[in-house]
Structure 1
Protein backbone atom coordinates (compact mmCIF):
# COMPACT_ATOMS: atom_id res chain seq x y z
CA UNK A 1 0.00 0.00 0.00
CA UNK A 2 2.86 2.33 0.77
CA UNK A 3 4.42 2.25 -2.72
CA UNK A 4 1.00 2.59 -4.37
CA UNK A 5 0.22 5.64 -2.22
CA UNK A 6 3.56 7.23 -3.02
CA UNK A 7 2.93 6.66 -6.72
CA UNK A 8 -0.37 8.51 -6.35
CA UNK A 9 1.42 11.34 -4.55
CA UNK A 10 3.84 11.60 -7.47
CA UNK A 11 0.98 11.56 -9.99
CA UNK A 12 -0.73 14.42 -8.17
CA UNK A 13 2.54 16.30 -7.86
CA UNK A 14 3.18 16.05 -11.60
CA UNK A 15 -0.27 17.51 -12.21
CA UNK A 16 -0.28 20.23 -9.57
CA UNK A 17 3.44 20.98 -8.97
CA UNK A 18 2.99 21.65 -5.23
CA UNK A 19 0.89 19.78 -2.68
CA UNK A 20 -0.20 20.57 0.87
CA UNK A 21 0.34 17.84 3.47
CA UNK A 22 -3.09 18.10 5.09
CA UNK A 23 -4.83 18.22 1.72
CA UNK A 24 -2.97 15.07 0.64
CA UNK A 25 -4.08 13.24 3.78
CA UNK A 26 -7.70 14.17 3.09
CA UNK A 27 -7.54 13.24 -0.60
CA UNK A 28 -5.87 9.87 0.04
CA UNK A 29 -8.04 9.13 3.09
CA UNK A 30 -5.15 8.54 5.48
CA UNK A 31 -3.80 10.35 8.53
CA UNK A 32 -1.45 13.32 8.34
CA UNK A 33 1.15 11.23 10.17
CA UNK A 34 0.96 8.56 7.45
CA UNK A 35 1.43 11.16 4.71
CA UNK A 36 4.39 12.64 6.58
CA UNK A 37 6.05 9.22 6.67
CA UNK A 38 5.53 8.89 2.92
CA UNK A 39 6.94 12.36 2.38
CA UNK A 40 9.99 11.62 4.52
CA UNK A 41 10.67 8.49 2.48
CA UNK A 42 10.33 10.41 -0.80
CA UNK A 43 12.60 13.17 0.53
CA UNK A 44 15.21 10.55 1.46
CA UNK A 45 15.01 9.21 -2.10
CA UNK A 46 15.50 12.79 -3.40
CA UNK A 47 12.22 12.65 -5.30
CA UNK A 48 10.54 15.55 -3.50
CA UNK A 49 11.55 18.32 -1.15
CA UNK A 50 9.64 19.95 1.66
CA UNK A 51 8.26 23.47 1.35
CA UNK A 52 6.13 25.38 3.83
CA UNK A 53 3.12 23.19 4.59
CA UNK A 54 3.78 20.67 1.85
CA UNK A 55 6.07 19.37 -0.91
CA UNK A 56 7.30 20.02 -4.43
CA UNK A 57 9.53 18.11 -6.83
CA UNK A 58 13.15 17.97 -5.71
CA UNK A 59 15.58 19.88 -7.98
CA UNK A 60 17.55 16.72 -8.77
CA UNK A 61 14.40 14.95 -10.00
CA UNK A 62 13.04 17.76 -12.15
CA UNK A 63 14.92 17.04 -15.35
CA UNK A 64 13.77 13.43 -15.27
CA UNK A 65 10.15 14.37 -14.64
CA UNK A 66 9.74 17.49 -16.80
CA UNK A 67 8.29 15.72 -19.84
CA UNK A 68 6.35 13.33 -17.62
CA UNK A 69 4.80 16.32 -15.85
CA UNK A 70 3.68 17.94 -19.11
CA UNK A 71 2.36 14.66 -20.51
CA UNK A 72 0.48 13.93 -17.27
CA UNK A 73 -1.15 17.36 -17.28
CA UNK A 74 -2.01 17.10 -20.97
CA UNK A 75 -3.74 13.77 -20.36
CA UNK A 76 -5.54 14.95 -17.21
CA UNK A 77 -9.20 15.77 -18.03
CA UNK A 78 -8.22 15.67 -21.71
CA UNK A 79 -11.75 15.11 -23.02
CA UNK A 80 -13.03 18.06 -20.98
CA UNK A 81 -10.18 20.30 -22.14
CA UNK A 82 -10.87 19.42 -25.77
CA UNK A 83 -14.54 20.41 -25.36
CA UNK A 84 -13.58 23.68 -23.66
CA UNK A 85 -11.12 24.51 -26.44
CA UNK A 86 -13.69 23.74 -29.14
CA UNK A 87 -16.23 26.02 -27.46
CA UNK A 88 -13.67 28.81 -27.05
CA UNK A 89 -12.96 28.65 -30.77
CA UNK A 90 -16.51 29.89 -31.42
CA UNK A 91 -15.71 33.22 -29.74
CA UNK A 92 -12.64 34.03 -31.85
CA UNK A 93 -13.46 35.90 -35.09
CA UNK A 94 -11.23 35.91 -38.16
CA UNK A 95 -8.73 38.75 -38.16
CA UNK A 96 -8.56 39.08 -34.37
CA UNK A 97 -5.47 39.76 -32.27
CA UNK A 98 -5.40 37.25 -29.43
CA UNK A 99 -3.11 36.50 -26.52
CA UNK A 100 -2.88 32.80 -25.79
CA UNK A 101 -1.90 31.80 -22.28
CA UNK A 102 0.31 28.96 -21.09
CA UNK A 103 -1.28 25.66 -20.10
CA UNK A 104 -2.65 22.46 -21.57
CA UNK A 105 -6.16 23.73 -22.36
CA UNK A 106 -4.84 26.71 -24.30
CA UNK A 107 -2.44 24.31 -26.03
CA UNK A 108 -5.49 22.29 -27.10
CA UNK A 109 -7.01 25.50 -28.45
CA UNK A 110 -3.85 26.33 -30.40
CA UNK A 111 -4.28 23.07 -32.30
CA UNK A 112 -7.71 24.24 -33.52
CA UNK A 113 -6.84 27.76 -34.64
CA UNK A 114 -5.79 26.64 -38.11
CA UNK A 115 -9.48 26.80 -39.04
CA UNK A 116 -9.45 30.59 -38.51
CA UNK A 117 -8.14 33.24 -40.92
CA UNK A 118 -5.66 36.09 -40.47
CA UNK A 119 -5.15 35.87 -36.72
CA UNK A 120 -2.36 37.63 -34.87
CA UNK A 121 -1.31 35.50 -31.91
CA UNK A 122 0.78 36.62 -28.94
CA UNK A 123 1.99 34.02 -26.45
CA UNK A 124 4.73 33.40 -23.90
CA UNK A 125 4.43 29.64 -24.33
CA UNK A 126 7.11 28.20 -26.59
CA UNK A 127 4.99 25.06 -27.01
CA UNK A 128 2.01 27.09 -28.22
CA UNK A 129 4.14 29.35 -30.44
CA UNK A 130 5.86 26.37 -32.07
CA UNK A 131 2.56 24.57 -32.60
CA UNK A 132 1.06 27.65 -34.27
CA UNK A 133 4.10 28.52 -36.38
CA UNK A 134 4.45 24.98 -37.71
CA UNK A 135 0.77 24.30 -38.40
CA UNK A 136 -0.90 27.59 -39.36
CA UNK A 137 -0.33 30.66 -41.52
CA UNK A 138 -1.16 33.07 -38.69
CA UNK A 139 1.19 35.82 -37.54
CA UNK A 140 2.74 34.56 -34.30
CA UNK A 141 4.66 36.62 -31.74
CA UNK A 142 6.51 34.73 -29.01
CA UNK A 143 7.10 36.85 -25.91
CA UNK A 144 10.73 36.92 -24.79
CA UNK A 145 11.96 36.53 -21.22
CA UNK A 146 13.45 34.07 -18.77
CA UNK A 147 12.34 30.55 -19.65
CA UNK A 148 10.80 28.24 -17.07
CA UNK A 149 11.03 24.45 -16.97
CA UNK A 150 8.19 22.01 -17.62
CA UNK A 151 5.85 24.60 -19.19
CA UNK A 152 8.71 26.08 -21.28
CA UNK A 153 7.37 29.62 -21.07
CA UNK A 154 8.87 33.10 -20.84
CA UNK A 155 8.26 35.02 -17.63
CA UNK A 156 9.51 37.81 -15.43
CA UNK A 157 9.78 41.54 -15.98
CA UNK A 158 11.44 41.20 -19.41
CA UNK A 159 8.44 39.22 -20.65
CA UNK A 160 6.00 41.74 -19.19
CA UNK A 161 7.87 44.66 -20.77
CA UNK A 162 7.85 42.91 -24.15
CA UNK A 163 4.10 43.51 -24.20
CA UNK A 164 4.74 47.26 -24.49
CA UNK A 165 5.34 46.58 -28.19
CA UNK A 166 1.59 46.10 -28.65
CA UNK A 167 -1.10 48.78 -28.49
CA UNK A 168 -4.16 46.57 -28.08
CA UNK A 169 -5.27 42.95 -27.83
CA UNK A 170 -8.79 41.85 -28.71
CA UNK A 171 -8.99 38.64 -26.67
CA UNK A 172 -6.91 37.14 -23.89
CA UNK A 173 -7.61 33.41 -23.63
CA UNK A 174 -6.23 32.42 -20.27
CA UNK A 175 -5.82 29.48 -17.95
CA UNK A 176 -5.06 29.15 -14.24
CA UNK A 177 -3.69 26.87 -11.53
CA UNK A 178 -6.74 27.48 -9.35
CA UNK A 179 -9.87 29.58 -8.97
CA UNK A 180 -12.01 30.49 -5.98
CA UNK A 181 -14.89 32.89 -5.48
CA UNK A 182 -12.91 34.93 -2.96
CA UNK A 183 -9.57 35.16 -4.77
CA UNK A 184 -10.41 34.72 -8.43
CA UNK A 185 -7.72 33.14 -10.60
CA UNK A 186 -4.39 32.34 -8.93
CA UNK A 187 -0.98 30.91 -9.89
CA UNK A 188 1.78 28.98 -8.14
CA UNK A 189 4.62 30.18 -10.39
CA UNK A 190 5.59 33.78 -9.64
CA UNK A 191 7.55 33.98 -12.92
CA UNK A 192 4.40 34.10 -15.07
CA UNK A 193 2.25 36.33 -12.87
CA UNK A 194 3.41 39.71 -14.23
CA UNK A 195 2.66 38.68 -17.82
CA UNK A 196 -0.79 37.38 -16.93
CA UNK A 197 -1.72 40.53 -15.02
CA UNK A 198 -0.51 42.78 -17.84
CA UNK A 199 -2.49 40.84 -20.45
CA UNK A 200 -5.65 41.20 -18.34
CA UNK A 201 -5.09 44.97 -18.32
CA UNK A 202 -4.39 45.22 -22.07
CA UNK A 203 -7.09 43.00 -23.52
CA UNK A 204 -10.57 44.11 -24.58
CA UNK A 205 -12.02 40.77 -23.49
CA UNK A 206 -10.70 38.19 -21.03
CA UNK A 207 -11.91 34.63 -21.63
CA UNK A 208 -10.85 31.96 -19.15
CA UNK A 209 -10.66 28.27 -20.08
CA UNK A 210 -10.88 26.28 -16.85
CA UNK A 211 -11.68 22.60 -16.41
CA UNK A 212 -13.68 21.50 -13.37
CA UNK A 213 -10.65 20.22 -11.43
CA UNK A 214 -9.34 23.78 -10.90
CA UNK A 215 -12.33 25.08 -8.93
CA UNK A 216 -11.81 25.45 -5.20
CA UNK A 217 -8.03 25.45 -5.52
CA UNK A 218 -6.09 28.50 -4.38
CA UNK A 219 -2.49 29.24 -5.35
CA UNK A 220 -0.26 31.96 -3.91
CA UNK A 221 -0.39 34.69 -6.54
CA UNK A 222 -3.63 36.31 -7.80
CA UNK A 223 -3.76 37.09 -11.52
CA UNK A 224 -7.35 37.98 -12.40
CA UNK A 225 -10.41 38.75 -10.28
CA UNK A 226 -13.81 37.38 -11.21
CA UNK A 227 -14.92 40.94 -11.97
CA UNK A 228 -12.34 41.16 -14.77
CA UNK A 229 -13.58 38.02 -16.52
CA UNK A 230 -15.79 38.62 -19.54
CA UNK A 231 -16.42 34.91 -20.04
CA UNK A 232 -15.56 31.68 -18.24
CA UNK A 233 -15.74 28.43 -20.20
CA UNK A 234 -15.70 25.18 -18.23
CA UNK A 235 -17.00 21.62 -18.55
CA UNK A 236 -20.05 19.79 -17.25
CA UNK A 237 -18.08 18.33 -14.35
CA UNK A 238 -18.13 21.61 -12.42
CA UNK A 239 -19.60 21.34 -8.91
CA UNK A 240 -23.16 22.78 -9.00
CA UNK A 241 -22.35 24.80 -5.87
CA UNK A 242 -19.46 26.57 -7.61
CA UNK A 243 -21.61 27.18 -10.67
CA UNK A 244 -24.28 28.78 -8.49
CA UNK A 245 -21.68 30.93 -6.70
CA UNK A 246 -20.17 32.08 -10.00
CA UNK A 247 -23.57 33.11 -11.31
CA UNK A 248 -24.29 34.93 -8.04
CA UNK A 249 -21.02 36.80 -8.59
CA UNK A 250 -22.36 37.76 -12.05
CA UNK A 251 -19.73 35.76 -13.94
CA UNK A 252 -20.76 34.85 -17.47
CA UNK A 253 -20.30 31.05 -17.50
CA UNK A 254 -20.54 28.76 -20.52
CA UNK A 255 -20.59 24.97 -20.11
CA UNK A 256 -18.82 23.09 -22.91
CA UNK A 257 -20.72 19.86 -23.54
Structure 2
Protein backbone atom coordinates (compact mmCIF):
# COMPACT_ATOMS: atom_id res chain seq x y z
CA UNK A 1 0.00 0.00 0.00
CA UNK A 2 1.35 3.43 -0.95
CA UNK A 3 1.90 6.06 1.75
CA UNK A 4 -0.75 8.30 0.17
CA UNK A 5 -3.36 5.53 0.27
CA UNK A 6 -2.48 4.68 3.86
CA UNK A 7 -2.70 8.31 4.95
CA UNK A 8 -6.07 8.70 3.26
CA UNK A 9 -7.36 5.68 5.20
CA UNK A 10 -6.03 7.15 8.43
CA UNK A 11 -7.63 10.51 7.67
CA UNK A 12 -10.97 8.87 6.85
CA UNK A 13 -10.89 7.10 10.21
CA UNK A 14 -10.02 10.34 12.04
CA UNK A 15 -12.97 12.07 10.39
CA UNK A 16 -15.28 9.18 11.23
CA UNK A 17 -14.23 8.61 14.83
CA UNK A 18 -12.69 11.96 15.75
CA UNK A 19 -9.43 10.31 16.86
CA UNK A 20 -7.12 7.36 16.17
CA UNK A 21 -4.58 5.38 18.19
CA UNK A 22 -1.22 4.31 16.78
CA UNK A 23 -1.60 0.79 18.19
CA UNK A 24 -4.96 0.26 16.47
CA UNK A 25 -3.65 1.59 13.15
CA UNK A 26 -0.65 -0.77 13.32
CA UNK A 27 -3.01 -3.75 13.60
CA UNK A 28 -5.48 -2.51 11.01
CA UNK A 29 -2.95 -1.53 8.34
CA UNK A 30 -0.32 -4.19 9.02
CA UNK A 31 2.64 -1.81 9.16
CA UNK A 32 5.12 -0.80 11.83
CA UNK A 33 4.65 1.66 14.65
CA UNK A 34 7.24 3.99 13.06
CA UNK A 35 5.46 3.92 9.71
CA UNK A 36 2.20 5.03 11.32
CA UNK A 37 3.98 7.77 13.25
CA UNK A 38 5.55 9.05 10.03
CA UNK A 39 2.11 9.07 8.41
CA UNK A 40 0.68 11.03 11.32
CA UNK A 41 3.61 13.48 11.11
CA UNK A 42 2.85 14.03 7.41
CA UNK A 43 -0.85 14.59 8.07
CA UNK A 44 -0.10 16.94 10.96
CA UNK A 45 2.29 19.02 8.79
CA UNK A 46 -0.56 19.50 6.35
CA UNK A 47 -2.87 20.64 9.14
CA UNK A 48 -5.16 17.65 8.63
CA UNK A 49 -4.79 16.09 12.10
CA UNK A 50 -3.47 17.13 15.48
CA UNK A 51 -0.94 14.77 17.01
CA UNK A 52 -1.53 13.73 20.61
CA UNK A 53 0.10 11.17 22.89
CA UNK A 54 -0.39 7.73 21.31
CA UNK A 55 -2.28 8.92 18.25
CA UNK A 56 -4.01 11.88 16.62
CA UNK A 57 -7.28 13.80 16.74
CA UNK A 58 -9.34 15.62 14.15
CA UNK A 59 -8.69 19.28 13.37
CA UNK A 60 -12.28 19.64 12.16
CA UNK A 61 -13.86 21.71 14.87
CA UNK A 62 -16.89 23.95 14.89
CA UNK A 63 -18.90 24.54 11.75
CA UNK A 64 -17.62 28.14 11.76
CA UNK A 65 -13.91 27.19 11.80
CA UNK A 66 -12.29 28.75 8.73
CA UNK A 67 -8.69 27.82 7.85
CA UNK A 68 -6.59 30.51 6.17
CA UNK A 69 -5.56 30.32 2.51
CA UNK A 70 -1.97 29.32 3.31
CA UNK A 71 -3.10 26.43 5.51
CA UNK A 72 -5.47 25.11 2.85
CA UNK A 73 -3.08 25.60 -0.05
CA UNK A 74 -0.77 22.79 1.13
CA UNK A 75 -3.53 20.19 1.43
CA UNK A 76 -4.32 17.60 -1.27
CA UNK A 77 -2.04 19.25 -3.84
CA UNK A 78 -2.03 16.33 -6.29
CA UNK A 79 -5.80 15.96 -5.99
CA UNK A 80 -6.40 19.65 -6.68
CA UNK A 81 -4.20 19.56 -9.76
CA UNK A 82 -5.97 16.47 -11.11
CA UNK A 83 -9.34 18.14 -10.48
CA UNK A 84 -8.17 21.34 -12.17
CA UNK A 85 -7.07 19.43 -15.29
CA UNK A 86 -10.42 17.69 -15.52
CA UNK A 87 -12.39 20.89 -14.87
CA UNK A 88 -10.52 22.80 -17.57
CA UNK A 89 -12.13 20.53 -20.18
CA UNK A 90 -15.44 22.32 -19.55
CA UNK A 91 -14.07 25.77 -20.46
CA UNK A 92 -14.56 26.95 -24.03
CA UNK A 93 -12.85 29.90 -25.78
CA UNK A 94 -14.84 33.12 -25.95
CA UNK A 95 -16.93 32.47 -22.83
CA UNK A 96 -17.53 34.30 -19.56
CA UNK A 97 -16.77 32.22 -16.49
CA UNK A 98 -16.79 32.71 -12.74
CA UNK A 99 -14.20 31.43 -10.26
CA UNK A 100 -15.09 31.67 -6.60
CA UNK A 101 -12.36 32.05 -4.00
CA UNK A 102 -10.51 28.96 -2.79
CA UNK A 103 -7.36 26.95 -3.26
CA UNK A 104 -8.93 24.54 -5.76
CA UNK A 105 -10.24 27.35 -7.97
CA UNK A 106 -6.86 29.09 -7.57
CA UNK A 107 -5.22 25.90 -8.86
CA UNK A 108 -7.73 25.79 -11.72
CA UNK A 109 -6.82 29.36 -12.71
CA UNK A 110 -3.27 28.19 -13.38
CA UNK A 111 -4.56 25.64 -15.94
CA UNK A 112 -6.48 28.13 -18.09
CA UNK A 113 -3.49 29.40 -20.11
CA UNK A 114 -4.49 27.61 -23.31
CA UNK A 115 -8.09 28.89 -23.36
CA UNK A 116 -8.42 31.94 -25.60
CA UNK A 117 -10.61 35.01 -25.25
CA UNK A 118 -11.88 34.46 -21.72
CA UNK A 119 -13.72 36.84 -19.42
CA UNK A 120 -13.22 35.73 -15.81
CA UNK A 121 -15.17 37.08 -12.86
CA UNK A 122 -13.78 36.26 -9.43
CA UNK A 123 -14.02 37.33 -5.79
CA UNK A 124 -10.44 36.21 -5.11
CA UNK A 125 -7.44 38.53 -5.29
CA UNK A 126 -5.18 35.49 -5.55
CA UNK A 127 -7.11 34.05 -8.49
CA UNK A 128 -7.09 37.45 -10.21
CA UNK A 129 -3.33 37.74 -9.69
CA UNK A 130 -2.70 34.31 -11.25
CA UNK A 131 -4.79 35.14 -14.30
CA UNK A 132 -3.27 38.58 -14.84
CA UNK A 133 0.31 37.37 -14.40
CA UNK A 134 -0.10 35.13 -17.44
CA UNK A 135 0.02 38.24 -19.63
CA UNK A 136 -2.68 37.26 -22.13
CA UNK A 137 -4.06 40.26 -24.04
CA UNK A 138 -7.26 38.40 -24.94
CA UNK A 139 -8.36 37.96 -21.32
CA UNK A 140 -10.54 40.21 -19.15
CA UNK A 141 -10.40 39.71 -15.39
CA UNK A 142 -13.14 41.25 -13.22
CA UNK A 143 -12.64 41.41 -9.43
CA UNK A 144 -15.86 41.89 -7.47
CA UNK A 145 -14.53 43.78 -4.48
CA UNK A 146 -15.86 43.26 -0.96
CA UNK A 147 -14.71 42.41 2.57
CA UNK A 148 -11.79 39.99 2.82
CA UNK A 149 -12.25 36.73 4.77
CA UNK A 150 -9.53 34.58 6.45
CA UNK A 151 -9.57 32.35 3.34
CA UNK A 152 -8.99 35.40 1.10
CA UNK A 153 -12.48 35.60 -0.37
CA UNK A 154 -14.04 39.00 -1.08
CA UNK A 155 -17.58 38.84 0.29
CA UNK A 156 -20.49 40.93 1.49
CA UNK A 157 -22.94 43.41 -0.10
CA UNK A 158 -20.44 44.89 -2.57
CA UNK A 159 -19.52 41.46 -3.95
CA UNK A 160 -23.14 40.28 -4.06
CA UNK A 161 -24.33 43.43 -5.83
CA UNK A 162 -21.54 43.07 -8.40
CA UNK A 163 -22.69 39.55 -9.24
CA UNK A 164 -26.45 40.08 -9.39
CA UNK A 165 -26.35 41.87 -12.72
CA UNK A 166 -24.07 39.31 -14.40
CA UNK A 167 -24.83 36.31 -16.61
CA UNK A 168 -21.97 33.80 -16.74
CA UNK A 169 -21.69 30.81 -19.05
CA UNK A 170 -19.95 28.71 -16.41
CA UNK A 171 -19.15 29.11 -12.72
CA UNK A 172 -16.60 27.02 -10.82
CA UNK A 173 -17.52 26.85 -7.15
CA UNK A 174 -15.00 25.92 -4.47
CA UNK A 175 -16.46 24.66 -1.17
CA UNK A 176 -15.39 23.99 2.40
CA UNK A 177 -17.34 20.76 2.73
CA UNK A 178 -19.90 18.41 1.21
CA UNK A 179 -22.21 16.12 3.14
CA UNK A 180 -25.37 14.12 2.52
CA UNK A 181 -27.89 16.35 4.30
CA UNK A 182 -26.06 19.68 4.22
CA UNK A 183 -25.04 19.75 0.55
CA UNK A 184 -22.10 22.03 -0.31
CA UNK A 185 -21.18 24.29 2.60
CA UNK A 186 -18.92 27.06 3.89
CA UNK A 187 -17.99 28.16 7.43
CA UNK A 188 -18.53 31.85 6.55
CA UNK A 189 -22.06 33.24 6.31
CA UNK A 190 -21.13 36.16 4.07
CA UNK A 191 -19.12 33.92 1.77
CA UNK A 192 -22.14 31.64 1.49
CA UNK A 193 -24.30 34.54 0.31
CA UNK A 194 -21.66 35.64 -2.18
CA UNK A 195 -21.22 32.13 -3.54
CA UNK A 196 -24.99 31.76 -3.93
CA UNK A 197 -24.92 34.92 -6.04
CA UNK A 198 -22.24 33.28 -8.20
CA UNK A 199 -24.44 30.18 -8.55
CA UNK A 200 -27.47 32.26 -9.53
CA UNK A 201 -25.40 34.03 -12.22
CA UNK A 202 -24.33 30.74 -13.80
CA UNK A 203 -25.85 29.05 -16.82
CA UNK A 204 -23.92 25.98 -15.68
CA UNK A 205 -22.56 25.38 -12.17
CA UNK A 206 -19.48 23.21 -11.60
CA UNK A 207 -18.32 22.38 -8.06
CA UNK A 208 -14.64 21.48 -7.65
CA UNK A 209 -13.97 19.61 -4.40
CA UNK A 210 -11.41 16.99 -3.41
CA UNK A 211 -12.33 13.85 -1.47
CA UNK A 212 -11.17 15.33 1.85
CA UNK A 213 -14.16 17.71 1.75
CA UNK A 214 -16.54 14.74 2.13
CA UNK A 215 -18.40 14.61 5.48
CA UNK A 216 -17.19 18.12 6.35
CA UNK A 217 -19.99 20.55 7.20
CA UNK A 218 -19.73 24.34 7.40
CA UNK A 219 -22.35 26.48 9.09
CA UNK A 220 -24.10 27.54 5.87
CA UNK A 221 -25.24 25.63 2.79
CA UNK A 222 -24.33 27.29 -0.51
CA UNK A 223 -26.26 24.95 -2.79
CA UNK A 224 -27.77 21.50 -2.55
CA UNK A 225 -26.45 18.55 -4.52
CA UNK A 226 -29.38 18.68 -6.95
CA UNK A 227 -28.60 22.31 -7.86
CA UNK A 228 -25.17 21.40 -9.27
CA UNK A 229 -24.65 20.57 -12.93
CA UNK A 230 -21.22 18.97 -12.48
CA UNK A 231 -19.14 17.88 -9.49
CA UNK A 232 -15.45 17.33 -10.22
CA UNK A 233 -13.68 15.39 -7.47
CA UNK A 234 -10.81 12.91 -7.24
CA UNK A 235 -10.51 9.14 -7.05
CA UNK A 236 -9.79 9.24 -3.32
CA UNK A 237 -13.53 9.63 -2.69
CA UNK A 238 -14.82 6.32 -1.34
CA UNK A 239 -17.31 4.26 -3.32
CA UNK A 240 -20.36 4.85 -1.07
CA UNK A 241 -19.99 8.61 -1.43
CA UNK A 242 -19.54 8.28 -5.19
CA UNK A 243 -22.72 6.25 -5.53
CA UNK A 244 -24.74 8.73 -3.51
CA UNK A 245 -23.36 11.77 -5.33
CA UNK A 246 -23.85 10.22 -8.77
CA UNK A 247 -27.54 9.94 -7.95
CA UNK A 248 -27.81 13.53 -6.69
CA UNK A 249 -25.69 15.77 -8.94
CA UNK A 250 -26.41 15.91 -12.66
CA UNK A 251 -22.89 14.77 -13.61
CA UNK A 252 -20.07 13.36 -11.50
CA UNK A 253 -16.51 13.56 -12.86
CA UNK A 254 -13.79 11.67 -10.98
CA UNK A 255 -10.23 12.80 -11.73
CA UNK A 256 -7.73 9.94 -11.76
CA UNK A 257 -4.50 10.80 -9.95
CA UNK A 258 -2.56 7.96 -11.56
CA UNK A 259 -3.17 9.08 -15.12
CA UNK A 260 -3.63 12.77 -14.25
CA UNK A 261 -6.79 12.73 -16.29
CA UNK A 262 -10.53 12.78 -15.71
CA UNK A 263 -13.25 10.20 -16.16
CA UNK A 264 -16.96 10.22 -15.61
Change beyond 3 A, Cα 1:136–1:206: farther
Alpha-carbon deviations, 1:41-64, whole Å to 9, x = none? xxxxxxxxxxx969958xxxxxxx
Structure 1: gaps spanning 5 or more residues: 1-11, 13-21, 31-51, 58-65
Q: Which residue of 2 aligns with 1:7?
A: none
TM-score, normalised by the number of residues in structure 2: 0.71
Kept in 2: contact 1:114–1:136 (CA 8 A): no
Confirm or deny that 1:198 pairs with 2:197.
yes
Change beyond 3 A, Cα 1:196–1:250: closer
Pairwise CA distance, 1:74: 1.4
Alpha-carbon deviations, 1:199-223, whole Å to 9, x = none? 1112000001110000111111010
Give the aligned CA root-mean-square deviation in angstroms.
2.5
Bigger RCO of structures 1 and 2 (CA < 8 A, at least 6 apart): 2
Q: Which residue of 2 aligns with 1:39?
A: none
Q: Which residue of 2 aligns with 1:153?
A: 153
Alpha-carbon deviations, 1:134-156, whole Å to 9, x = none? 2142100000111223x222101
Q: How many residues align?
A: 204
Tell me the secondary structure at the aligned position of residue 232 of structure 1: strand
Structure 2: gaps spanning 5 or more residues: 1-10, 23-60, 257-264
Runs of 4+ in 1 over 4 A off after TM superposition: 22-25, 52-57
Alpha-carbon deviations, 1:46-103, whole Å to 9, x = none? xxxxxx969958xxxxxxxx8xx43331121100100000110011000110000111
Change beyond 3 A, Cα 1:112–1:245: same
Q: Which residue of 1 aligns with 2:162?
A: 162
TM-score, normalised by the number of residues in structure 1: 0.73
Tell me the secondary structure at the aligned position of residue 234 of structure 1: strand
Pairwise CA distance, 1:28: 4.3
Question: Which residues of 2 match residues 230-249 of structure 1 at below 5 A?
Answer: 230-249=229-248
Confirm or deny that 1:127 pairs with 2:126.
yes
